[in-house]
Structure 1
């Protein structure tokens, strides 16, 4: 919405045509009538010298500013720019660009109004790009707008608009290429324009609207809800400040409607989509017939109505959506850059009506619309994969209707082109690759193309959550594709390719933690290859990228503008670092022998660094099948199909365990109330009520199912059930690496429990967990931790109560008991309790002690995993802060808090819990809990654990966590023997889990 100055020859003010032209122009400005505008143009043209040759009139300065109260409002340049904005006529735009080009070429260097001339040319080129999609026009627009800004003096009242015009050019390029650097530039220029626009000034609404549009576009790319919130704030302010007769009022109204539509897609709240429809309808009603913006506003209204139809199932909304979209298509010229978008929308609505009515003609027309849209988009355009994907889905719907194999082949072919091309948003290409792989696997399961498709999908998965985004935004991008690596592994297992299955699981799971580990990877290979300068720069950029990714974006709305600008500058610096990182890796991989530098670890390498003894068991759970992949040092991968298990069973067990835990927690709270009431009313009125209605023993049933269907078949294949049960220290280790809903189930406790009958995994193995195989092997192939040095020791921290939390008095007893035990040895030990515990002290002690024991409240944040935290009296220590420390001396962390390995179901394959986070922070092994632990039993478990761990310590005070898995196994068995085999006993010891080596 940039504003343009006049560039045409001024009519001679003595000409009789001048007064006529002014009169028509005044009526146009009063009524908005295109007829009056055309008459004004014709009259002014008649007053121009003949032959018509664009030049700068000697009185140009006065003519550029014909109205003192609106110095940026053009009135002679309407021929090529303002009328084109209204009508969309390409001939007007062409003439505007040509005239501006001649003026700039012949006069601009000597003209005091040069910045305005250049800005006019830039805006005309930008308008033609938006009309035609010509990237050459856009490149030139950026060049001239940049030069216009360079020549504009500080304090010039036109400076905000010049900034805005250049920002709009970068915004347009972002829409074409998807490059986040461009949208960051657009936001930066618009923010600066806001700071220079006086409150109440005529240009401020436009500046705010452009800034809001840039934030909204970035939200569409990254999913950062803060950007959308900022966009809504900008649009609302622009509407509030704009006069009621402002020419851009319909545009501001439409912008706000779009923002509410995007928010609805995130929230699914009816109020948001109703607001969107209301604003779109108002914007459409304010737009006169024949206006160039009318088709777009009709399409926006149609899209919003269709979204409400999908929510409410109201056929009236669908019918109106179709009417709006058809009219948008009919009003749009065939060569318009936005026509493919309107056609695609029409195809979507027709598909919805086909699904309601079954009328095949609707589907035929939908496919026709999608084909036409695809043909109109250049293959190198960023949106090309979008239209290919849309056409493919319609063709598949058609195939499902008539079983025409040609449509299926065409569908898959289009998806393949969309996926493997080098244009478009990675997320769009990933969606295409995922559907390509799924359809190949479903309809041609033996095809080699199935493996090729899944390979592309996994590779695109890693680029979708790139380092240019914060960790939180990477998680947002990954949520919709959490099952993809599991599907890929399932397909590989079905084709007898267990190595490929493992490779995809390793590449596609725990991506964010893997990126963090990669940034901390030593670059010794480059130094050895005599490229020390490159190694140094890679190390420096990695050190800067890590905190940039861990940064948590502050809310935009409500903080001062200068702070927002600072945040945007940091965001731009982050983008620059990510680009430089990719360039450095490309440079390193061009060196002979370093072609795979910092690429995901190949399976062959992973298998070379397995633990010398024990088994790593990866269990893949997908909709199609379930498989175990057993890894053992010096052996090939052993593939064990788990035919009796399924994803449906895993989810049922997960739901059943969750429901039982909730009931158990309610009973615990009730028991506490009873304890308080015992002194007053005794047990006679309450306890019998609690005992009624408990029914069977669901936890026993779940653990039995896991044993019979998952764990026992694996142990039988490994012939571990034939081994006589020996001492705990002689039991073999198993590292479980479950996927999907199985990640939330206690494999380490699988078994049959009951009086006189017991068969469990605890009898045959010591269990640990690992988020991925690489997370385990990276510790084994890394430098050994030096124990017995000045950092070796144990720090104990307890928190009886944190602000707003329930008291946990057992933590003090737990820490005191462990402190007394450890103090009787030569091991260095420190205890902090209560109000003495602060975030700063805890971090300091994490650096100064190899091991830490945290007995406190913990908070798991599923929406923002880096905000999961340990709660102290004097603040909260969040996971992001711990990870930033990069604890090189870390060995063992005992997290005696609730749900520290609970995770998030939407990101089950990303291990977004405190235990995995502590591994990422540098700890080699972590003891955590799957659910709430009892205040009575925690001290006993801790003492038994450390007593076992200390029995091998030497006189020099060595504190080594390498036996921590056996120590936890011992402590759990001890608690189990004390409490028996009841459901209450299981709730007490089963939640304890061990992660790492």
Structure 2
């Protein structure tokens, strides 16, 4: 059976068929033998009446429910599926219940089985059954969980289609309508994070705004929707750098906090998200009160999180990030030690099957790298590489975070090459950066930065081996990075300056006047895009002064000599500017 959803046919299996009998047989072999972590995800059961005890993991019945009897609960639900005849109205409920239980296992085979059973639940339900919207929603949740584990686009698109299918048969006046709008928005955000397509983010914003507008003031679901809307604005700020989006993000997150009670389970997640936005604003404006506010919220969140809570690792990581930021600002070594302590605790508090573990390992690697730069101890650098390697190895192929983690590991190898001069480290870094570029979609907003990093890697190879082809490749990738960086992007001037320096290297090696002219052109563009007070202003004046004196030596034009003197003096003046460190 195939479901037609808003004009898009979703095939249940590769041959276009879905066999309920096969789903019943599959229920015999799904595992259910793994210990469950706390919490059961987002899936919602369509359980009613006498069947609630059998399939609801939140039931108080000591015979089947609870952590110790989780496997028994799965086995009981599995048996009910086998014994229930086709056409029985209870069969969809059992299918959905088993999918709900398996979705908490975080084992690939169980996630696959969960999606099979959710499809069976939806496809064995009559079109006019009032439970059909919930079953389609659950099917979207199952695919969403599998996407978050494996990072496959087809799972994400399937989740989106089933959420839309549920929305299409849900009355506008129903509260479920607003919730589905919110879930569709979250799925579009996931799609944006995978593909980097700004259109998906704009679509997410529209759905979130519609969800908020669909509910009256004071509605119990508004805090979650406010928080989601704030997070979408934050994503757009990270892409476009518009300060207005940053302020909107903070506004809606605070609105969420103001509208929930002190005992609401959303409270701590809301405070943690507010801390993130204060950190964003601190990094943008450099105002110390924002950094202190981020630390205050992070500490409050951690103090309210009990040991063993599934959110504890992420909240420890958040506090580590805030201490790192304060260390970078005040250079107080106690903050660096605190950052390392919290980052290490985050990894130790995480379960081995936790899909967030690679992210936590990456943060710990960053903390070790920070301490290496502070103290220069190679052991910290080795530990950073070890943690970065673990993060890469724990990330499935095709996962949207894999290129970024490969990039981080490459940077750690590069640091060790600079310290020890081992060519193997440089070559390992280079191969990882190539993989990071190849794994990043062509429209992804992170691609320019990765291209820039690959250009630097080729320059490092040129410095080590002297192969002119590496320098030419460095110029090629630096050009690509500049060309696809949006106008007004905060990193554009930095990339233009880097390209100008590479052209200067090419001129010094080959003596080509065209390379010198290109160096002058991009150094000038970099300077023009640098505001007064920026920490790189002196450096960019100096680069332009150096390029001008080189052209004077080549062509003998007095105007180039005058330009060199002018920019060299401006570099000195900018260095003495007390506001130049604000950026």
Is the structural similarity TM-score above 0.5? yes
The answer as to whether partners of 2:340 and 2:368 remain within 8 angstroms in 1 is yes
Between the aligned partners of 2:574 and 2:265, the Cα distance in structure 1 is 57
The answer as to whether partners of 1:329 and 1:342 remain within 8 angstroms in 2 is yes
2:502 pairs with one of 485, 488, 495: 488
The answer as to whether partners of 1:149 and 1:163 remain within 8 angstroms in 2 is yes
The residue aligned with 1:327 is: 345
Query: 1:24 Cα shift?
Result: 5.3
| Residue 37 to residue 53, structure 1, CA distance change in 2 (3 Å) | farther
Alignment of 1:424-435 (within 5 A): 425-435=446-456
1:277 aligns with 2:316: no
The residue aligned with 1:621 is: 544
| Residue 97 to residue 294, structure 1, CA distance change in 2 (3 Å) | farther
The answer as to whether partners of 1:211 and 1:231 remain within 8 angstroms in 2 is yes
The answer as to whether partners of 2:493 and 2:525 remain within 8 angstroms in 1 is no
650-659 vs 440-449, which moves further: 650-659
SS of aligned partner of 2:550: strand
Alignment of 1:442-481 (within 5 A): 442-444=463-465, 447-465=468-486, 474-481=488-495
SS of aligned partner of 1:243: coil
1:653 pairs with one of 559, 564, 569: 569
The residue aligned with 1:439 is: 460
The answer as to whether partners of 1:21 and 1:39 remain within 8 angstroms in 2 is no
The answer as to whether partners of 2:413 and 2:429 remain within 8 angstroms in 1 is yes
Alignment of 1:799-814 (within 5 A): none
Between the aligned partners of 1:336 and 1:501, the Cα distance in structure 2 is 52
| Residue 44 to residue 459, structure 1, CA distance change in 2 (3 Å) | closer
Query: 1:301 Cα shift?
Result: 1.8
Between the aligned partners of 2:319 and 2:574, the Cα distance in structure 1 is 43
Alignment of 1:820-969 (within 5 A): none
Query: 1:222 Cα shift?
Result: 2.2
Query: 1:502 Cα shift?
Result: 3.7
The residue aligned with 1:497 is: 512
Alignment of 1:105-184 (within 5 A): 105-107=123-125, 109-184=127-202
The answer as to whether partners of 1:228 and 1:259 remain within 8 angstroms in 2 is yes
The answer as to whether partners of 2:319 and 2:342 remain within 8 angstroms in 1 is yes
1:414 aligns with 2:432: yes
| Residue 278 to residue 24, structure 1, CA distance change in 2 (3 Å) | farther
Alignment of 1:717-866 (within 5 A): none
Query: 1:436 Cα shift?
Result: 2.1
Query: 1:92 Cα shift?
Result: 7.0
The answer as to whether partners of 2:47 and 2:55 remain within 8 angstroms in 1 is no
1:6 aligns with 2:20: no
Alignment deviations for residues 109-165 of structure 1 (CA, whole Å, 9 cap, x no partner): 342332221111112221232233233321211111121122222222211101011
Gaps of 5+ in 2: 1-39, 529-541
The residue aligned with 1:260 is: 278
Between the aligned partners of 2:362 and 2:261, the Cα distance in structure 1 is 35
371-380 vs 314-323, which moves further: 371-380
1:306 pairs with one of 324, 329, 332: 324
Between the aligned partners of 2:131 and 2:344, the Cα distance in structure 1 is 45
Between the aligned partners of 2:55 and 2:574, the Cα distance in structure 1 is 81
Between the aligned partners of 1:243 and 1:303, the Cα distance in structure 2 is 27
Structure-1-length-normalised TM-score: 0.46
1:225 aligns with 2:255: no
| Residue 211 to residue 78, structure 1, CA distance change in 2 (3 Å) | farther
| Residue 507 to residue 131, structure 1, CA distance change in 2 (3 Å) | same
Between the aligned partners of 1:150 and 1:356, the Cα distance in structure 2 is 57
The answer as to whether partners of 1:2 and 1:165 remain within 8 angstroms in 2 is no
Gaps of 5+ in 1: 26-33, 65-75, 466-470, 514-618, 631-637, 663-903, 908-997
The answer as to whether partners of 2:55 and 2:98 remain within 8 angstroms in 1 is no
Alignment deviations for residues 172-221 of structure 1 (CA, whole Å, 9 cap, x no partner): 11111211111111111001001001111111011111111111122222
Between the aligned partners of 1:21 and 1:293, the Cα distance in structure 2 is 19
Structure-2-length-normalised TM-score: 0.76
The answer as to whether partners of 2:136 and 2:166 remain within 8 angstroms in 1 is yes
SS of aligned partner of 1:309: helix
Between the aligned partners of 1:399 and 1:21, the Cα distance in structure 2 is 53
2:305 pairs with one of 264, 287, 293: 287
The answer as to whether partners of 1:194 and 1:207 remain within 8 angstroms in 2 is yes
The answer as to whether partners of 2:545 and 2:568 remain within 8 angstroms in 1 is no
The residue aligned with 1:50 is: 80
SS of aligned partner of 1:627: helix
Alignment deviations for residues 746-776 of structure 1 (CA, whole Å, 9 cap, x no partner): xxxxxxxxxxxxxxxxxxxxxxxxxxxxxxx
The answer as to whether partners of 1:119 and 1:165 remain within 8 angstroms in 2 is no
Query: 1:357 Cα shift?
Result: 3.2
Between the aligned partners of 1:298 and 1:387, the Cα distance in structure 2 is 20
**Is the helix fraction higher in 1 or 2?**
2
Alignment deviations for residues 659-687 of structure 1 (CA, whole Å, 9 cap, x no partner): 99x9xxxxxxxxxxxxxxxxxxxxxxxxx
The answer as to whether partners of 1:194 and 1:208 remain within 8 angstroms in 2 is yes
Structure showing greater radius of gyration is: 1
The residue aligned with 1:196 is: 214
The residue aligned with 2:21 is: none
Query: 1:481 Cα shift?
Result: 2.7
Query: 1:330 Cα shift?
Result: 3.2
The answer as to whether partners of 1:128 and 1:137 remain within 8 angstroms in 2 is yes
| Residue 101 to residue 416, structure 1, CA distance change in 2 (3 Å) | closer
| Residue 500 to residue 624, structure 1, CA distance change in 2 (3 Å) | closer
Between the aligned partners of 2:354 and 2:563, the Cα distance in structure 1 is 48
